[in-house]
Structure 1
Amino acid sequence: MTDIDEAADVSAKPLRHNRDFSRFWFGETVSLFGVQVTNLALPLTAVIVLNVRPEELGLLRSLAFLPFLFLALPFGVLVDRNAKRPLMILANLARAVLVGLVPVLAFADALSMPILAAVVLAIGVCTVLFEVCWLSYVPVLVEKEHLVAANGRVSASSSAAEFAGPGLGGLLVQVLTAPYALAVNAGSYLVSVFSLLTIRTPEEVTPSAKRHLGREIAEGIGFIVRQPYLRVLAVAGAAFNFCYMFVEALFVIYAVRDLNMAAGTIGGILAVSAIGGVLGAALAARLVGRYRFGRVYVAAVVVGYGGPLLIPLVAGPPVLAVVVVTAGFFLMRAGLTVANVAGSSLRQAVTPRELLGRMTAGMRTLMWGIGTTGALVGGFVGGWLGLRTGLWVAAVGFLVAALPILLSRIPQLREMPSAATR
């Protein structure tokens, strides 16, 4: 039996027996918790060590996402031309060095805002490369029938990290101080690197007949536009991200000024909503296995896109407001996670192996390119119409965003189609 035959035999087994996927999942879970530590420790480092202004803190956040807009598409070509595992190892090694550089510079009293901004931007570049790679790499490790379960496990890890990570980050910042807590995330990336090094599944790379960057990018975008399911998912995903960033721009200030919520209460609401994500990820594979794929996806969309209607619903008694707002975020995260797991699996299933990198990069660019403008529009609308009215605008926008899916062929799917579907 050849190495490739052995790999196929392993990937065909139940997911719990797929050792290579388990290694990947373990490393990714550790690094996801490390990312949550960094999400807290890095801005605190900027505030405490560098005494930055709010505008500078906003700049750091935008620099973290900026590479998604400009580098995802060329990275998609790179990923389709090369084996993905070495690229993921390179990306996480670079992230470990970059994150570990911050406490070293802080200790040497050499950290400055321009240096920190450059580090954040470089980390963002590595994050884009890793994100494009791993979504294209899961189908290498598991068979189509296990994609939902595999994506569900990674999503569960992500939601668990979002729930427990900020608390862990706060504890580490308190014990180690902000810059030195970042060393934990550097170590988490190294754990991921070690896990990737232990994977033995061989990866076939199909050489592209076209070695022109622009044509290969256009081929990936063209595939998304022509493929009926991908086209719908791209439009709905971009609209959802726009509304989500819209809400994110308004919610904290609305909770503080209009609902008189304390910071701890707001943190509790977001933590409970992350539990919704964990629950959704845990149930996704079971739901898809028991019910028709299209019905599960539509139900998840209705719950996830409808949940935000509860956020601006109550502005009265504080306890009632907390309960209703928490329910809105919980339903949004639970439904969204099921929809994301099913949608990611659908995207992977209908895309030929040689286009996975460019498809993933194209979807990321289309979804986040439009989505990131939601925060700017949300701030403007909230200032113009008021915070609560702005949240109502976003809530209605979520319902509009669901329409492309509800009116598409996706609700009629009994099971996930294959890459032959056009």
Structure 2
Amino acid sequence: MTSPATLRESRGFARLWTASTASAFGSYVTVLAIQVLVVDVLAGDAVDVGLVNAARWVPYLLFGLLAGVLVDRVRRRPVLVATDLLSAVALSAIPVLSATGSLTVGWLAGVMAVFGLCTVVGDAAFQSFVPRLVPTRLLGPAHARLDQSDAVAQASGPAVAGGLVQLLGAPLAVLVDAVSYLVSAILLITVKADEPRGESRRRVRDIGPEIREGLHWIYRHATLRPLALSTHAWFACSAVAGAVMTPFALRTLHLSPATLGPRWPRPASGRSRGPPSRCGSATGGAPGTSSSAPGWARGRHGA
């Protein structure tokens, strides 16, 4: 495959960028809609909000490192398409369960756990797929463009999400994100990438050593170690604040979803961290240190 001279000439990257932008905007709708759903529709409290939030992020802790290593052994595009389709199906189950009166905090936590698992695998595949679409010299501009679209989603996504939740209701608003994943999957199906089938047929028993090598590489690195540790701390504090913020805003301050959306806290940085965000074979780092490793949990699906 001939390498594009500029990003504009890379149709594959343009489609990946569009798919990523669509799912990023949709994800902000889900983040807010799920919080409102627990508090307003299911009459849950901060503990319930924390449980549902934890269900989404636990897959990162349990499978993040494993996902990064396994993705190095397969073609990334089919993984991205599959995880997008599964995410769309999982999110579509929420309004269906709500309409039938079967939705509970437990069911919602289960759906979010499935969604979180799809996200962790998809994020690992996404970060290692970008170098397959653009040459090394264009990786910086490519990631910068991804960051720009994510910055727009961060700035306007919560406000749009609040309006949609107010207009459609929390269960139906989640369908917006489901549609965004479906659109993303369709776009990704049309992407052509140079991914040899047998490029990473390494032995299963090598997974453990690769994970250890990746961890050692990150936590012994002068730059990556403090970055990873600070991100751990950020997620811990954010999880505590996130569990109490929505119940406080809706019940104590009596804010509506439309007024809560613009006040929703923005992440401090975007989902893509440039070429170092995947420290695997494609960028010259240690294997298994994909963006789904602990401390790198933000991927293309929003904060």
Q: TM-score, normalised by structure 2?
A: 0.83
**Contact (CA 8 Å) 1:241, 1:367: kept in 2 or not?**
yes
Q: Deviation per CA, 1:190-231, whole angstroms, max 9, x where unpaired?
A: 010011011122312445464124x22422441563589x82
Distance 1:56 1:368 in 2: 25
Query: Is residue 222 of structure 1 aligned with residue 213 of structure 2?
Result: yes
Which AA in structure 1 matches 2:295? M
| Matched residue, 1:86 | 78
Distance 1:34 1:200 in 2: 24
Q: Could you say what secondary structure the match of 2:85 adopts? A: helix
Give 2:146's match in structure 1, choosing from 135, 154, 172.
154
Instruction: Give 1:31 deviation, angstroms.
Output: 0.6
Structure 1: state its 5+ residue gaps: 1-6, 275-332, 370-422
Query: Is residue 129 of structure 1 aligned with residue 121 of structure 2?
Result: yes
| Matched residue, 2:293 | 365
Q: Could you say what secondary structure the match of 1:235 adopts? A: helix
Query: Is residue 237 of structure 1 aligned with residue 227 of structure 2?
Result: yes
How well do the aligned residues superpose, as a CA RMSD in angstroms?
3.1
Which AA in structure 1 matches 2:225? V
Instruction: Give 1:358 deviation, angstroms.
Output: 4.5
Task: Between the two structures, name the one with larger relative contact order (CA 8 Å, sep ≥ 6).
Answer: 2
Instruction: Give 1:353 deviation, angstroms.
Output: 3.3
Query: Is residue 345 of structure 1 aligned with residue 253 of structure 2?
Result: no
Distance 1:104 1:44 in 2: 17
Distance 1:200 1:245, change over 3 A: closer
Distance 1:269 1:208, change over 3 A: closer
Superposition pairs of residues 4-403 of structure 1, within 5 angstroms: 7=1, 9=2, 11-208=3-200, 210-213=202-205, 215-223=206-214, 225-226=216-217, 231-245=221-235, 248=238, 249=240, 267-268=262-263, 270=265, 333=268, 336=269, 344-346=274-276, 348=278, 351-353=280-282, 358-361=287-290, 364-367=292-295
Q: Could you say what secondary structure the match of 2:221 adopts? A: helix
Instruction: Give 1:250 deviation, angstroms.
Output: 6.0
Q: Deviation per CA, 1:374-407, whole angstroms, max 9, x where unpaired?
A: xxxxxxxxxxxxxxxxxxxxxxxxxxxxxxxxxx
Distance 1:154 1:357 in 2: 23
Distance 1:262 1:111, change over 3 A: closer
Is the radius of gyration larger for structure 1 or structure 2?
1
Q: Could you say what secondary structure the match of 1:111 adopts? A: coil
**Contact (CA 8 Å) 2:277, 2:296: kept in 1 or not?**
no
Superposition pairs of residues 406-421 of structure 1, within 5 angstroms: none
Distance 1:18 1:211, change over 3 A: same
Q: Deviation per CA, 1:159-198, whole angstroms, max 9, x where unpaired?
A: 2112111111111111111101111111000010011011
Q: TM-score, normalised by structure 1?
A: 0.61
- State, as a whole percentage, how many aligned pairs show the same letter: 29
**Contact (CA 8 Å) 1:79, 1:357: kept in 2 or not?**
no
Distance 1:358 1:246, change over 3 A: same
**Contact (CA 8 Å) 2:23, 2:181: kept in 1 or not?**
yes
**Contact (CA 8 Å) 1:132, 1:357: kept in 2 or not?**
no
Distance 1:195 1:113 in 2: 33
Instruction: Give 1:115 deviation, angstroms.
Output: 0.9
Which AA in structure 2 matches 1:219? E
Instruction: Give 1:68 deviation, angstroms.
Output: 0.5
**Contact (CA 8 Å) 2:23, 2:184: kept in 1 or not?**
yes
Q: Could you say what secondary structure the match of 2:103 adopts? A: coil
Instruction: Give 1:130 deviation, angstroms.
Output: 0.5
Instruction: Give 1:60 deviation, angstroms.
Output: 0.8
Distance 1:80 1:205, change over 3 A: farther
Which AA in structure 2 matches 1:35? S
Q: Could you say what secondary structure the match of 2:234 adopts? A: helix
